[in-house]
Structure 1
Amino acid sequence: MSIKSFGAKLFASIIHHKTKKWVNNPIETQQKVFQNLISEAKNTQFGKDHDFANIKAFEDFSKRVPIRDYEDLRPYFDKVVKGESDVLWKGKPLYFAKTSGTTSGAKYIPLTKESMPYHIEAARNAILSYIHETGNVNFVDGKMIFLQGSPILEEKNGVKLGRLSGIVAHYVPKYLQKNRMPSWETNCIEDWETKVDSIVEETINEDMAVISGIPSWVQMYFEKLSAKANKPVGEIFKNFNLFIYGGVNYEPYRAKFENLIGRKVDSIELFPASEGFFAYQDSQKEKGMLLLLNSGIFYEFVKADEFFTENPKRYTIGEVELGVNYVLIISTNAGLWAYNIGDTVQFTSLKPYRVMVSGRIKHYISAFGEHVIGKEVESALQEAMDGTSIRVNEFTVAPQINPSEGLPYHEWLIEFENEPDKLEEFALKIDAAMRKQNVYYDDLIVGHVLRTVIITKVQKNGFQEYMKSIGKLGGQNKLPRLSNDRKIADFFVKE
């Protein structure tokens, strides 16, 4: 065992015992975070506007601070971006993480000196947790690749600005710098396809042990690698045994990945965002990701089916239940207050608190009151593929409200790697799985309001072409699993 491997094992044990302390006291931990946030921000503009000085408990906070999204908080964000101090959090941010807004262009999410370390520690602790549980440590001596955005940062009114993954690239520990790939020059390439080609050239003859990124874009890298070497990724990188991912559910990609790699590899799921690093997979044996309750983030949860009602109940960590679809609301040491990040989660465990991402509150289909969410379509597709040779590269789902003939339906646009012999039978399997999960959808089928699922095949690399057409190829960009409109579907379906 190398010195680096021995050190990693020792460090993993230390972090494991530190983590257990707050894991075993979740409610107390969140209460301390809450009190600290209120105390630190009471003299900011936001704190004064919302009477933080008189907030003693969560009930006071929930009365004074409504749930908001970026657009609701824009007057405050605009002041921060213009260079004002002490607006949402004390002082000025260290960085702005630039993300794509859904309604009005770019969003600028502040990262502060208090919040930034938690982004780095969470990613590190996810790997250390894996080491502690499995004892697998040899990968620390191999090369590691992180498919991410460009680390080139701009400046806006004295604050550095970039994509979160590019900002984080500046914080890679020195002991990993020699192992880390690709080169700085390649990482700075903006065009995603050019960048991936360059990464293939740099890594194809290296001993890659850890590969990290959003599955859809890592898949592109694997396909180019395999085509160039004319052999599976697992033969190119014989010591590759750990895949780290976040942003989307890995399950729809798993069979395709195992085919590209030629064998199974362990994986670690992360739940990071520009707004905070919320959870990571702490066990290879248990379902879900450990919710990080001591990372400068105070969590609230609103039941998704109540979210759009007037004054929905806001739950704290001690009140949540298993299997309920919650909208995740956060208050953070970067100055986000009762902030709706748009993600929905379900708890898979309450001791410790583990979550799985179930979708986006704005990404759903309810054209007929069916309330279909991302987790349901992913599970239905997986169930339909189980025990078959069918493999899917990518997919999305949209309602067809006004078909040229017959009843309305849900249209599944699927890019197959290995397509089914009988497409209609496969569609019926998906439909049956959907009906088992979603009683509203089942009622609509039984009541002849909807007909069963229709599958439209998308040509090879079709979804990449779509993402490219809207300027979102690569990086942190993700294809929505489902939409309540036909903006994506109409790109592929010309009636």
Structure 2
Amino acid sequence: MLNFLKKNIALAWAKRHVSQTENFKNNAEKLQEELLLSLVKTAEKTLFGRSHQFEDIKTIKEFQDKVKINDYEDLKPYIEKVKRGQRSILWPETPEYFAKTSGTTSGSKYIPISKEGMPFQVKGAQSALFHYIAKKNNADFVNGKMIFLQGSPELEEVFGIKTGRLSGIVAHHIPNYLQKNRLPSWETNLIEDWETKVDKIVEETEHENMTLISGIPPWLVMYFEKLTEKHSKKIKQLFPNLQLIVTGGVNYEPYKDKMEFLLGGKVDIVQTFPASEGFFAFQDDYTKDGLLLLTNHGIFYEFIPLEQYGKPDTERLTLKDVELNKDYALILTTNSGLWAYSIGDVVRFTDKNPHRILVSGRTKHFTSAFGEHVIAFEVEEALKSTVLKYPAKITEFHLAPRVNAESELPYHEWFIEFEEEPANLNLFKEELDFQLRNRNSYYDDLISGNILQQLKISKLRKNAFNEYAKSQGKLGGQNKIPRLANDRKLADLLEIYKL
């Protein structure tokens, strides 16, 4: 009786929530302008607001004229003042949290999360679940155990501001109605070593009635592999009532085949787009790949055409200006005090009514040593099409340019860790090159003009990427191995794992 009641309450909440979201879906462009002007007005008296004449800003254009695109290095002097306890710097109040992330150029980054911004991190995830329940008319998972693979919830203090990984911060805000069914235990979540932590999670969950599992794809794969190795069973055999997997952080598509193999049965997947800077989007239509952009969650969005990113006088587009299937650098202004902030993600719109996006890459993760500007989306889609024609199972890969090739033309080198190799690696390689040429005309021109030769594949031994990550202290946590690069820093480190 209690389970029946919980399920029906969840269904009622979900349907009411989805009906309440129609306004922002239908009026996103108007509401976004109102939001920006509200954020500017709120921060008018801050140090950043005074420095940028916020009191004179009455339109989006005036905001864009007065506030240039910022990255972390640009905002770091302000954030350092906040870290030292100064108030009214980027936002009127001191942040409630700092989300600490690892940066490549800035060292650790401290992303402010205000008391206004924090609730939206949780509401984004809740909304994703409510949309799923309403669309599927099914809330069975609320009666089972739920696991959230995440970083340690242990927080330090920086001048009185609680600081930690985003997933650890969010752990302190899980709604009460989910707490009783939530795994793993608090003690297990505190474990820092990722391999030890996953082993302990396996122990705590292997005999439970798991119905919902959440985490980024590489973590899920590691967890599922350990379970299947220990029990010699597929996940759906171990957890027959597993209904839903919620994932985000990286593109799910390259992990799809591996996940389906490990699951061994039907499980619904909901993709999300969270980050330390905000919860941006989630999948609301399970017949489509695009993620619903949350335009009413305290974030004003701008979009820079990727080919213009980093150039002076670049276009800064808003929702009304964007085109479908074109790549844009994502720029944020948030209710936590990030102003025209370049998050480093590249998105493309799949729909405009409502606005849905796909994450197509990173502004810093591309290969363009020869002017081709190949991005992650093109690479992943090329690989996906190739595997359909020449079946293979791929654990992970990395693409890098080989510029100084002795006595031969330069080329793209693909470091691939196969779980199952294609029957004919040479045909696989030729098809992969063909698929990439179809998706990137600049790359095609370089091949046709004999500037580049056809790509080459370097096979890596089993567990190569995990071993590399472990050697760098980057196994688990928030760490993600870039799939492509414009240099050979990672490629050179992967050389020792070649077969």
In which range does the TM-score fall when normalised by the shorter chain? over 0.9
Structure-2 residue corresponding to 1:101:
103
The separation in 1 between residues aligned to 2:267 and 2:452, in whole angstroms, is 41
Letter in 1 for 2:231: A
The separation in 2 between residues aligned to 1:27 and 1:116, in whole angstroms, is 23
Which of 300, 308, 311 in structure 1 is aligned with 2:310? 308
Q: Deviations over 1:13-71 (max 9, x none)?
A: 11111111111111111012112101110011000000000100011111110001000
> SS of the counterpart of 2:395?
strand
Q: Deviations over 1:124-162 (max 9, x none)?
A: 100110111111211111111111000000011010000
Which of 265, 273, 277 in structure 2 is aligned with 1:275? 277
Once the two structures are TM-superposed, the CA of residue 431 in structure 1 deviates from its matched residue by 0.5
The separation in 2 between residues aligned to 1:424 and 1:488, in whole angstroms, is 24
Which of 191, 194, 197 in structure 2 is aligned with 1:195? 197
Structure-2 residue corresponding to 1:8:
10
Structure-1 residue corresponding to 2:345:
343
Q: Which runs of 5+ in 2 are unaligned?
A: none
Moved over 4 A (4+): none
Contact 2:72–2:106 (8 Å) recurs in 1: no
Letter in 2 for 1:239: N
Structure-1 residue corresponding to 2:230:
228
User: What's the % identity of the aligned pairs?
Assistant: 53
Letter in 2 for 1:7: I
The separation in 2 between residues aligned to 1:61 and 1:99, in whole angstroms, is 28
Summarize the alignment of residues 227-246 of structure 1 with structure 2, pairs less than 5 Å apart: 227-246=229-248
Which of 302, 319, 322 in structure 1 is aligned with 2:321? 319
The separation in 2 between residues aligned to 1:106 and 1:314, in whole angstroms, is 28
Which of 352, 355, 362 in structure 1 is aligned with 2:354? 352
Contact 1:147–1:475 (8 Å) recurs in 2: no
Letter in 1 for 2:71: D
The separation in 2 between residues aligned to 1:492 and 1:431, in whole angstroms, is 21
Q: Deviations over 1:283-332 (max 9, x none)?
A: 10123000010010000000010112211010011111001100000000
Summarize the alignment of residues 342-381 of structure 1 with structure 2, pairs less than 5 Å apart: 342-381=344-383
Q: Which runs of 5+ in 1 are unaligned?
A: none
Structure-1 residue corresponding to 2:157:
155
The separation in 2 between residues aligned to 1:389 and 1:423, in whole angstroms, is 10
Letter in 2 for 1:357: V
The separation in 2 between residues aligned to 1:438 and 1:281, in whole angstroms, is 27
> SS of the counterpart of 1:2?
helix
Letter in 2 for 1:130: Y
The separation in 2 between residues aligned to 1:308 and 1:160, in whole angstroms, is 33
Number of equivalent positions: 495
Structure-2 residue corresponding to 1:114:
116
* Further displaced range: 404-413 or 93-102: 404-413
Structure-1 residue corresponding to 2:488:
486
> SS of the counterpart of 2:489?
coil
Once the two structures are TM-superposed, the CA of residue 87 in structure 1 deviates from its matched residue by 0.3
The separation in 1 between residues aligned to 2:109 and 2:453, in whole angstroms, is 40
The separation in 1 between residues aligned to 2:186 and 2:344, in whole angstroms, is 33
Summarize the alignment of residues 345-494 of structure 1 with structure 2, pairs less than 5 Å apart: 345-493=347-495
Structure-2 residue corresponding to 1:286:
288
- State the superposition RMSD in angstroms: 1.1
Once the two structures are TM-superposed, the CA of residue 82 in structure 1 deviates from its matched residue by 1.0
The separation in 1 between residues aligned to 2:479 and 2:342, in whole angstroms, is 19
The separation in 1 between residues aligned to 2:232 and 2:136, in whole angstroms, is 32
The separation in 2 between residues aligned to 1:484 and 1:244, in whole angstroms, is 31
Contact 1:214–1:476 (8 Å) recurs in 2: no
Once the two structures are TM-superposed, the CA of residue 388 in structure 1 deviates from its matched residue by 4.5
* Further displaced range: 485-494 or 97-106: 485-494
The separation in 2 between residues aligned to 1:131 and 1:388, in whole angstroms, is 37
The separation in 2 between residues aligned to 1:83 and 1:29, in whole angstroms, is 33
Structure-2 residue corresponding to 1:129:
131
Which of 58, 61, 66 in structure 1 is aligned with 2:60? 58
